[in-house]
Amino acid sequence: MPAAKDVEKKIEALRDKIRHHEYLYYVLDNPEISDQEFDRLMQQLKDLEAEHPSLITPDSPTQRVGGKPREGFVKVRHSSPMLSLDNTYSEEELRNWERRVHELSGRKDVDYVCELKLDGMSLALIYEDGKLARGVTRGDGTTGEDVTLNVRTVRSIPLSIELNKVKKAGVPPNFEARGELLMPTAAFKKVNEERERNGLPTFANPRNFTAGTVRQLDANITAERRLDFFPYILLSNGRTYFERHWETLTGLDKAGFKVNPNRKLVHSMDEVWAFIQQWEAKRDSLPYEIDGIVVKVDRIAFQDELGFTGKAPRWAIAYKYAARAGITKLENVRWQVGRTGKLTPVAELAPVAIGGTTVRNATLHNMDEIGRLGVKIGDYVQVERGGDVIPKVAKVIDDKDHPRGTQEIEAPEKCPVCGTKVVRTEGEVDFRCVNANCPAKLLGTILHFASRGVMNIDGMGEALVTQLTERGLVKNVADIYKLTKADLLSLERFADKSAQNILDEIDKSKELPLERVIYGLGIRMVGERTAQFLAEHFGSMEALANATVEELQSVNEVGPKIAESIAEFFSNPANQELVKRLQKAGLKFSGEKKERGTKLAGKTFVLTGTLAKYTRDEAKKMIEDAGGKVTGSVSKKTDYVVAGADAGSKLDKAKELGVPVIDEKALEELTD
């Protein structure tokens, strides 16, 4: 019997050898041994650990996958916000960004780092003493979800790094690596081919599939899907550690991470533009999807001087490539029913590969768009897709190599799901199913009701709602409030704790204010903002339900069509019963009445830069209290741009379009 010390040394030697070969295979893509030899080493380690379970450590290569499926995800607050980047789509906009960098920093000698904009999902990895302690999703940028068990299955993510190696890389032993988690194109294609063979629906694109994979409750499923990780930020105590971004990437590389090799340190915008053009031509040669190039100011001191806008750093920008397109044949058109009853024509296409994704369906929007395109069944069409946007039919191809189709696309007369005669209100482009109990509306209705911005029932996603509706446990949103633990335990992948978590979330939703309940009803043309105005004006669900069309039109931003839609909803007996059941369930049906001013009614504002006296939220409240509306982008429909210090591209856009630009003093005068 070997001595315990000898066994421990043998186990550690095996682990080091396996980590070395994992690094060669999954990070450097340069294996030295065969798969069979690697599997043999892993089996030896598993056997030794099984004989000596007290020697198993969390960072052992055998511990990447294991354990029972979890019952939910814990929320984790980020050490510093994980912000998104502003986008640009032209060389002119890119050079305008550079000009602002020069003006705000007071420097002309600025170096930039160019990196591929990987089309995946953001992830933060926290290491303590060189060992992976936690993996957290981006979430809302401030708080994410702990997905540690799932990210441990990603082979290019080191479970531990020798402290000596960390030190040589210039990296502190406790640090945070942020980057992009993605699914390689080949792995995504393989998954979809397998699902197609099994008669299952295929996934739309690698990015969405990645997001769904990392949130699997069973880490074994995540392990099967072969995700990859590329880091691009290193933090210590929530702050950037190195003095230059290029040094950050080099440090991560030396520490053993799979830093993307397609990066470049440049010294001018001409070099940036050359890099962008180079990779636009080569993007299809990559083993994963990209949708642009990220450009960052290299020196961290300059980044600190430039700072942030409300949602993005001023020292970085994402240049987005144009949507990719393909030509294929339109074989048929089917009508899809949404949660509000709206019927959308979907083009069924001969499969076409566009940007690493096989496209079989694309939206045609409505009959007016079909008429504008002049498209018929049998036509060859150009299909475009960009990022995770639903593919769309852009135009008909009419040349000698692509003969025209002859079959007209006909407007629907009946709902394709329930058979109810559809209606098209005069002056509107959409056909609608008006059957309140149409099964096609149900899934979308429940998902809308439970979503974060409405009743915020965390955990009630598509997988759960599909099971609930298919089993008849939920036939309308009121049924959510009669669910029992026994109902949930009868579903797949539900244990006692996960069932109780859902019930707790449902109970918690009862505390949300009246405007959320109104929004959750799914009344056609009533969005979040309109629901808020209705709640403030009427003060109760009863008053709203009994309001006449004329009374409804006295509410801010409620015109004749919206008023008619609200009145139509509350006049329907099935909807009346639904509202009664929600009230009986204990949802809030009353709130504080508040009359907003009308001085700025119909006026649209955009806020940019840093205001001296007010925060963004305070300025927004001033405008909305006076009846105005605040949006995020400048267009010809914008009435005023309120500009503070360090105003960015929105100010440039306002000047270009001739939109009036005012300061906060002028805003005070408008809202008084």
**CATH 1.10.287.610 domain range(s) in the chain:** 4-63
pLDDT at 78 over 50: yes
Query: What's at 399, amino acid-wise?
Result: D
DSSP 590: B
Q: CA 291 to CA 283: how far, in whole Å? A: 9
pLDDT bracket for residue 57 (50, 70, 90): confident
Q: Which CATH class is domain 439-509?
A: mainly alpha
Average pLDDT rounded to a whole number, residues 585-597: 87
The confidence score (pLDDT) of residue 356 equals: 61
Burial (CB count within 10 angstroms: exposed 0-12, middle 13-18, buried 19+), residue 24 = middle
The confidence score (pLDDT) of residue 195 equals: 67
Q: Per residue, what are the HEC states of 52-115?
A: CHHHCCCCCHHHCCCCCCCCCCCEEECCCCCCCCCEECCHHHHHHHHHHHHHHHCCCCCCEEEE
**CATH 1.10.150.20 domain range(s) in the chain:** 439-509, 514-585
**Token pair for residue 470?**
């298919």
**CATH 3.40.50.10190 domain range(s) in the chain:** 604-671
CA torsion, ordered 14, 17, 18, 22, to nearest 10 deg: 170
Average pLDDT rounded to a whole number, residues 22-50: 75
Q: CA 29 to CA 23: how far, in whole Å? A: 8
The confidence score (pLDDT) of residue 387 equals: 46
Asked if 32 and 12 count as a contact pair (C-beta separation under 8 A), the reply is no
Average pLDDT rounded to a whole number, residues 496-507: 93
Asked if 192 and 198 count as a contact pair (C-beta separation under 8 A), the reply is no
Of 9, 117, 282, 580, which one is the catalytic site residue? 117
**CATH 2.40.50.140 domain range(s) in the chain:** 323-433
pLDDT at 641 over 90: yes
φ and ψ at residue 269, rounded to 5 degrees: -70, -25
Average pLDDT rounded to a whole number, residues 529-539: 90
pLDDT at 250 over 70: yes
Average pLDDT rounded to a whole number, residues 65-79: 68
Asked if 227 and 255 count as a contact pair (C-beta separation under 8 A), the reply is no
**Token pair for residue 634?**
């400048």
Q: Which CATH class is domain 87-320?
A: alpha beta
CATH fold, domain 4-63, is: Helix Hairpins (1.10.287)
Asked if 390 and 363 count as a contact pair (C-beta separation under 8 A), the reply is yes
Q: CA 191 to CA 400: how far, in whole Å? A: 37
Tell which residue, 163, 169, 157, 165, has the closest CA to residue 247: 169
Average pLDDT rounded to a whole number, residues 540-551: 94
Residue 632, Cα to own-chain centre: how many angstroms? 18
Q: CA 384 to CA 327: how far, in whole Å? A: 9
CA torsion, ordered 446, 448, 453, 458, to nearest 10 deg: 40
Q: Which of 499-513, 544-558, 586-600 has the highest mean pLDDT?
A: 499-513
Average pLDDT rounded to a whole number, residues 3-26: 80
The confidence score (pLDDT) of residue 388 equals: 42
Burial (CB count within 10 angstroms: exposed 0-12, middle 13-18, buried 19+), residue 497 = exposed
Q: CA 493 to CA 148: how far, in whole Å? A: 19
Q: How many CB atoms lie within 10 A of CB 380?
A: 19
Instruction: Identify the CATH number of the domain defined by range 604-671.
Output: 3.40.50.10190
Superfamily for domain range 323-433: Nucleic acid-binding proteins (2.40.50.140)
Across the strands, what pairs with 643?
608
pLDDT at 69 over 70: no
Question: Is there a catalytic annotation at residue 117?
Answer: yes
pLDDT at 452 over 60: yes
**Residue written as tokens 């007071």?**
106
pLDDT bracket for residue 197 (50, 70, 90): low
Average pLDDT rounded to a whole number, residues 70-84: 81
Asked if 307 and 102 count as a contact pair (C-beta separation under 8 A), the reply is no
SS3 389: coil
Q: CA 498 to CA 328: how far, in whole Å? A: 45
Tell which residue, 440, 461, 201, 426, has the closest CA to residue 342: 440
CATH fold, domain 514-585, is: DNA polymerase; domain 1 (1.10.150)
Total-model pTM: 0.53
**Residue written as tokens 């069309």?**
549
pLDDT at 494 over 60: yes
